[in-house]
Structure 1
């Protein structure tokens, strides 16, 4: 059965609001919560970028049932993988086993801020392989020394380490990513409802669709889709255009843009009708739910929805989420 999640969108809400939304999303019946991990919003109009790990720590204590996940963090430039390993282990303990570490090769928007430059995509994927190897080793609780091409770890140990480590989901966009990462993560993350990608992951994953190496459930395929609910359809479209028009650039463009100004320039000719054709907008819950169907048909096991903007976020999680979930599960 497909599981449905709610996205804690750190680019469009402040930290205290995000924790409040998380509590209400759990009460509404969502199965899991995912949090973005940004240093900057994509567009100035979004206006926020609190530290995701602090937010998730508070959410872990404020909730009791929903699973938690980063969607996604980059463990290679802004964060050293040894630090990510420690953060993930702590969050797993705080949430009493509800956390999944979602990782990816990152975006220039967030990673350039530490002044280390922005590597080419091939190098970023090589770095991610090393990072996952380091995180896996540290999550054994053993003393680890690692000497790679990109990272070194010197006599490190995670002292508060959950039994079995932390399950990992990794973002992939094609067969090459599947080949490189299927042996290093339990779960697949993807930004497109690609059934062939799901099939490739299942064929390549060592769990073979059964129990994974850390004792979690069978390998999950996790996706995310934006929607813009509002009682007024025109308002919903205008808000989606104002805050989410960057979405149409695609990963290959978005990964390399360095600043919100760059995203504004890249999306300046995107029209409201362009956004409305790709993001379900308005009050019709049947239409909002139906927009998720491609992910279900492609074989995704977990789908997180993003309610665009902060203006209607409280009303969405308090009033709209529960009936929307009923329609999603009916699909």
Structure 2
């Protein structure tokens, strides 16, 4: 059965709001929530960027049934994988069997802040593979030393550790990375109904849950929704690899000056106020082979969007 989820957008909401959104998502009947892990928002107008691990601790205390995932963390540059492993182990213990850890190669926007060079994609994959080896060794609860090409760990042991290895799902947006995810991840994480990425992942032997996020904006009218997306999430309309390569919110703001409202209206974000449009978008992702589909409500109207889904969208899949 397909699991339906809701995005906790760390770029748009402060930690207390995110905790409340998670609680409300559980209340209205979503199966899971996914929280983003950012140091910066994409553009300054989004306005927030709380530390995800602190927020997750509060969510664990305020919810009791809903599954929770991080979609996704880059454990390679801004934070040493030893520290990420420590955070994940603690959060996994707090959530029990409700937690899923998503990993990816990250964005320059968040990772350049320590002054470390932003390498090409193949090197980022090498670093992520080594980081995952480090984390999985630490999650055994045994004393770990590691002297690799990118990371060093000496005599480290996690004393607060889950009984089983955390489920670690790899992000992929193209066939090359999907093949890598099939080998190294416990599942696939992507954006949109990318059937070709899912097929490549499975053809390469990938198994486990397959997550995808859909952008939506619930509003009184479609024009209002388009305006909200244009003001709060124009970065979603940027092409190619810009999202991985631009380094500051100011650069994203400059790049999004190329985005017009017509691009939003004609793009993949669901701005139609008709519930059937939202049902159809989710069904398209299900038909593309994804078993975990979650929606990212853009803008401040979080409670109204969740109530809309509770009344008019979720029942179509129950």
Output the TM-score relative to the length of structure 2: 0.95
Q: Specify the alignment match of 2:291 in structure 1.
A: 301
* Bigger fraction of residues in helix: 2
Does residue 229 of structure 2 align to residue 240 of structure 1?
yes
Partners in 2 of 1:16 and 1:282 — Cα distance?
29
Q: Which moved more, 1:248-257 or 1:148-157?
A: 248-257
Partners in 1 of 2:143 and 2:312 — Cα distance?
47
- Secondary structure of the corresponding residue to residue 203 of structure 2: helix
Aligned 8 A contact 1:133 1:184 in 2 = no
What pairs with 1:33-52 in structure 2 (closer than 5 Å)? 33-52=33-52
- Secondary structure of the corresponding residue to residue 183 of structure 2: coil
Aligned 8 A contact 1:286 1:327 in 2 = no
Q: Specify the alignment match of 1:17 in structure 2.
A: 17
- How far is 1:114 from its partner? 1.4
What pairs with 1:231-310 in structure 2 (closer than 5 Å)? 231-250=220-239, 252-278=241-267, 279-310=269-300
Q: Specify the alignment match of 1:101 in structure 2.
A: 101
What pairs with 1:152-231 in structure 2 (closer than 5 Å)? 152-205=152-205, 209=207, 219-231=208-220
- How far is 1:328 from its partner? 5.0
Q: Specify the alignment match of 1:215 in structure 2.
A: none
Q: Which runs of 4+ in 1 moved over 6 A?
A: none
Structure 2, unmatched stretches of 5+, are: none
- Secondary structure of the corresponding residue to residue 136 of structure 2: helix
Partners in 2 of 1:39 and 1:250 — Cα distance?
22
- Secondary structure of the corresponding residue to residue 229 of structure 1: coil
Aligned 8 A contact 1:289 1:327 in 2 = no
- How far is 1:184 from its partner? 2.2
Partners in 2 of 1:181 and 1:243 — Cα distance?
31
Q: Deviations over 1:82-134 (max 9, x none)?
A: 11111111001111221111010000111111111211111111100101111
Output the TM-score relative to the length of structure 1: 0.92
Q: Deviations over 1:40-96 (max 9, x none)?
A: 111111111111111111001100111111111100011111111111110011112
Q: Deviations over 1:284-323 (max 9, x none)?
A: 111122223331111001011000011x112222x21312
Q: Specify the alignment match of 2:148 in structure 1.
A: 148
Q: Specify the alignment match of 1:320 in structure 2.
A: 308
Q: Deviations over 1:189-248 (max 9, x none)?
A: 112422232222223336xx4xxxxxxxxx001000110001122111100111111112
Cα pair distance change 1:159/1:199, threshold 3 Å:
same
- Secondary structure of the corresponding residue to residue 294 of structure 2: strand
Aligned 8 A contact 1:25 1:321 in 2 = no
Aligned-residue RMSD, C-alpha: 1.5
Cα pair distance change 1:159/1:324, threshold 3 Å:
farther
